Structure 1
Amino acid sequence: MPATHPVDEFRPLSRLIPFGLQHVLVMAASPISSVFLVSKTLGLDPDLTVRLLSATFVLSGVGTLVQSLGPWKFGARLPFVMLPGGAPVVLFIAIAEEHGLPTASGAVILTGLCYFVALPLFARLLRFFPSIVIGTMIVIIGVTLVKAGGVLVVGKPGTPGFGDPRNLLLGFATVAFTVLCFRFLGGMLRQLAVVFGLLAGTALAALLGAVHVEGLDRTAVVGLPSPLPFGPPEFDLVAALPLMIFALASMAEATGQTVLNGEIVGKEIDVRRDVPRTIRGDALISLLGGLFGTSMMVTSGENVGIVRVTGVRSRFVTVIAGVVLVLIGVFTPIAHLVNAVPPAVVGGTAIVVFAIIAVLGVQMLAKADFADHANVVIVAVALSAGLLPSLLPGLYQALPSNLAMLLESGVAVGAFVAAGLNLLFHHLPRFGAATEKRENDCAAT
């Protein structure tokens, strides 16, 4: 009887629960911040905000269970967590501001359907995403996420409190606590270094008066998501186009994450089989998200870094994380407690985890043959295209708003540039190649 692969190994709950909680604590800022961004930008009332927060946590948990358990043809059966995507949230807000919330929900539903329609064609194109393309994507993802973690620590330039020394102290102290736990702890405790660093940072924040638990005295204990919170969805293909185009970029990103996750857990990935499973999971949960008022839900590249840090490969760790996310969505006081962790502390933890993703991308690129100058050009140009939006914010602000939002997604741009250049250099016939071959043949004779 063949041995069980570590990714399919069900470990004792005494080990699974702490590691599952670690995933949740590091990732909880994403659903909270996405809902609050939508609420504040669109002026939603507090009750509606609470219902959207509940829906976002529950769908994140359900999506995590789908990706981790992989029922039928949905989910990669890898340790994945699903969360609201950053760029889709921005696009959702833009559609809602211009066309109204019912149209924004309709756009998410149309995009979920677009995944299923486009998937067969995309699956045929996967051969154009070798390790050099995926490695470049992973580096861009890692660097972009490090910047996002840094923003959690210091805030955005030009906003009140930017670079607050207390926040800098909390962020860097959390990094230091995490490193010290890696250095001096062993066994299972070392694998929990990320969560210990986060807890130590939170304890320091409490001593400095930076932890504030609000809303516990006036919130219901149980809050269930409400379907169609904005009323019946309205379907407008033109309004939905930016999200539908982004779905193609999301497919490319899901490809990279699936391959990287497989490498980390040591499981051989069949790209033609496993990537579509990941994408179907994203499509299903995004479709449900449109029905419950959220934006698109996507597999999280961030949690892949946690898997690499801990070395715990079992997908049942993220099954536990999925259950916890659902419980947070149902029991609203838990969400308030999780939200009490200061952003600077979460950012400090995130910087460590996200930087590891970039390192994993570099490891993947190390497999490429850089003696071939074509590969040097592919990676150089794709990295430039993917990182410029992060390095130069507002680079595309003079362009039409929908086009600018798409181009500012460095991961999407970098992925398509890398895939396009790989096609140009390694799959299309070279101009003059036949003449060069004849000359070489003549010289040989």
Structure 2
Amino acid sequence: MSVKPTTRRRVHPVDEVLPVPKLAAYGFQHVVAFYAGAVLVPIIIGSAIGLTNEQLIHLINADLFTCGIASIIQSVGFWKVGVRLPLLQGVTFAGVSPVIAIAMANGGGTEGLLYVYGAVIVAGLVTFFMAPYFSKLLRFFPPVVTGTVITIIGVALLPVAVNDAVTNPATHEQDPSNGRWMAYAIGTLLIIVLIQRFFKGFMATIAVLLGLVIGSAVAFVLGDMNFDGTSEASWIGFTQPFLFGVPKFSVVAIISMIVVMLIIAVETTGSVYATGEIVGKRIKKDDIAATLRADGVATVIGGTFNSFPYTAFSENVGLVRLTGVRSRWVVATAGGIMILLGLLPKTAAVVASIPPPVLGGAALALFATVAVVGIQTLSKVDFTDHRNLIIVATSLGLAMLVTIQPTVSEGVPDWLEMLFGSGIVLGAVSAIVLNVLFFHVGNRGQAVAGGPSKGITLDKVNEMSAEDFAATFGGLVQGTPWVVERAYQQRPFADAHGLREAFQEALLAGTTEEQIELINSYPDLGSEDATGTLNAADHVGLSNLEEDEHENIVQLAAEYREHFGFPLVICARETERYDRVLANGWSRVENAPSAERSFAMIEIAKIANYRFDDLVADANPIAAARFGRINDFR
């Protein structure tokens, strides 16, 4: 009798439970990479709102404790809460400035924190219940909104770092005339930069932590750091819920924190997709909902245990890619370690002893990095659409107005005071509202044709008949029917970029016979009509040639046509100079016919691209005049 062999179900690397020593080692590595960013938030907030050293220690302990709980919830999960991926949770920097603004607007210190925790708890609940529906809200948070807000967060936080950089460690008062403090800040920043330059892998991921340690050690040796507060701190302790009192609630504070949570939700969504790609798991809508529910639960716990809003830490997403360790149980172990650290007030007291200038130097690097991430996000934005430019410029301008001159909030009505109390909140609300106004309300769509008197928007383009579409856009490709028809079939167009891409794709998808037909529709380079005018406006760069130079171009075009049987097509706007046009043309005569056909199609695509820019510019004359060229405003 044969025994059927048992088959073991293959476990995905994400769900693999590693041996305890490996779990501990890899988990501790996550904690080390995460630690500096985790403790910076409570230190910055505590210093800004005037907490005592003892209160700051409680804040650090509470932060680490709830970071651990949040990470376990996200990585292990229960019911429909937690994505069950190696995502480590931490307090978001996006909440720093709004939290400080809420606290200071309500008296500062522990009294102000009560309003912060009330807003945090409500915003966490809102996040939890909106999680299943968030995918429908994503269209209101395109890169132009998220990139603007992230950039504003980084730039608006830089003054906090600068203030720390010039603060006397003994008196905790700003003393910008003393170069000693600036030396600590710049020295710490330099250490971080050098570590990033000369080390790779894990060492590079803990550059900020090493910068803080080395900077603090130098300050200690020079007598500018002491550990007096550590002797009074207990070895083991627990930060009780609502330590500073029962939370208080302000409508404006709650709205501000909900806006922050919406921005965090967009960031978290990006982190989930990035992590899914790294570990090889397909991310579905239910996964996003589970992630945001975990963020909501963690944020409610944060408000209860004297901490702040939570999100996935991108540094640790990068560490997963770097190490190749995909097990979510490693992050769960890291969460357990953080809970233990949160129960050690002595450790928090040591962290609280970091001199402000050293902290300021590290914060300069961190906050500037946040701004760069925002700029990277904005690089995905189509700025040739002037609406996007207006959204970013207006939001950034308003944010800087409040950041540089915070007293402007005193001149607005009480119900607007909180909105104008934080550059980040004002900038975020501006970006969201303007995006809705420009892209989701009324007659949507940038004018893409039709001239200044009757701009034709994308909505109208999507409703056009094939004949109207050909009459409007056929000139991009010499009216060649097969190109126009294929571009028309790609409707509806989401934006001007989509319309441009439709023509580019149609151009390059033609058969050999179709491509030759299209190439033959273009006039010979340098040819003139009966009046002596160049046959194509695209050759305007060749209009000021001397007689002998023009003859050289004509001779080139004639020999090219004789060799290949179709006209020489060159995007003269891009080549610009006569000698380059001539050199380009003669070099192409040496090509094989099939290769040269491809070259010609690429040039035609370039010409169509420039013609499209001209078409949009003509339809938006004010923007075109203001910004010089179409690529600066769409």
Please give the TM-score of this superposition, normalised by the length of structure 1: 0.78
**Pair 1:164–1:96, CA change in 2 (3 A):** same
Structure 2 counterparts to residues 254-293 of structure 1, below 5 A: 254-262=264-272, 266=277, 273=286, 276-292=289-305
Structure 2 counterparts to residues 6-21 of structure 1, below 5 A: 13-21=24-32
SS of the residue corresponding to residue 151 of structure 1 reads helix
Match of 1:30 in 2: 41
- Give the deviation of 1:24 after TM superposition: 0.9
**Cα distance between partner residues in 1 of 2:127 and 2:209:** 35
CA offset digits 1:362-408 (Å, max 9, x no partner): 22221222222222222222222333322333232222456323333
SS of the residue corresponding to residue 380 of structure 2 reads coil
Match of 2:186 in 1: 172
**Cα distance between partner residues in 2 of 1:270 and 1:178:** 35
Counterpart pick for 2:161 among 145, 149, 154: 149
Q: Quick check: 1:416 aligned with 2:429? A: yes
* Residue type at the aligned position of 1:284: V
**Cα distance between partner residues in 1 of 2:43 and 2:109:** 24
**Structure 1 residues not aligned, in runs of 5+:** none
Match of 1:59 in 2: 66
- Give the deviation of 1:289 after TM superposition: 4.0
Match of 2:309 in 1: 297
- Contact in 2 for aligned 1:51/1:226 (Cα 8 Å): no
**Structure 2 residues not aligned, in runs of 5+:** 1-9, 473-634
Match of 1:82 in 2: 91
Match of 1:189 in 2: 203
* Residue type at the aligned position of 1:325: M
Match of 2:378 in 1: 365
Match of 2:515 in 1: none
Match of 1:387 in 2: 400
- Contact in 1 for aligned 2:164/2:360 (Cα 8 Å): yes
- Contact in 2 for aligned 1:111/1:243 (Cα 8 Å): no
**Pair 1:107–1:387, CA change in 2 (3 A):** closer
**Cα distance between partner residues in 2 of 1:224 and 1:164:** 39
Match of 2:591 in 1: none
Match of 2:608 in 1: none
- Give the deviation of 1:2 after TM superposition: 10
* Residue type at the aligned position of 2:235: V
**Cα distance between partner residues in 2 of 1:162 and 1:321:** 39
**Cα distance between partner residues in 1 of 2:335 and 2:354:** 20
**Cα distance between partner residues in 2 of 1:397 and 1:221:** 45
Q: Quick check: 1:73 aligned with 2:80? A: yes
SS of the residue corresponding to residue 81 of structure 1 reads strand
- Contact in 2 for aligned 1:228/1:291 (Cα 8 Å): yes
**Cα distance between partner residues in 1 of 2:202 and 2:37:** 18
- Give the deviation of 1:17 after TM superposition: 2.1
**Cα distance between partner residues in 2 of 1:153 and 1:218:** 27
**Pair 1:399–1:64, CA change in 2 (3 A):** farther
- Contact in 2 for aligned 1:79/1:261 (Cα 8 Å): no
Counterpart pick for 1:247 among 235, 257, 262: 257
* Residue type at the aligned position of 1:191: T
**Pair 1:352–1:306, CA change in 2 (3 A):** farther
- Contact in 1 for aligned 2:24/2:330 (Cα 8 Å): no
Q: Quick check: 1:210 aligned with 2:224? A: yes
- Contact in 2 for aligned 1:110/1:240 (Cα 8 Å): no
User: Which is further off, 333-342 or 139-148?
Assistant: 139-148
SS of the residue corresponding to residue 299 of structure 1 reads strand
SS of the residue corresponding to residue 80 of structure 2 reads coil
**Pair 1:50–1:33, CA change in 2 (3 A):** same
* Residue type at the aligned position of 2:156: T
- Contact in 1 for aligned 2:57/2:349 (Cα 8 Å): no
CA offset digits 1:396-421 (Å, max 9, x no partner): 22224563233333333323322322
**Pair 1:174–1:401, CA change in 2 (3 A):** farther
- Give the deviation of 1:354 after TM superposition: 2.4
Looking at both structures, which has the greater relative contact order when contacts are Cα pairs under 8 Å and sequence separation is at least 6?
1
User: Which is further off, 393-402 or 170-179?
Assistant: 393-402
Match of 1:136 in 2: 148
**Cα distance between partner residues in 2 of 1:206 and 1:98:** 28
- Give the deviation of 1:245 after TM superposition: 0.8
User: Which is further off, 317-326 or 181-190?
Assistant: 317-326
**Cα distance between partner residues in 2 of 1:261 and 1:442:** 41
Match of 2:236 in 1: 222
Number of equivalent positions? 433
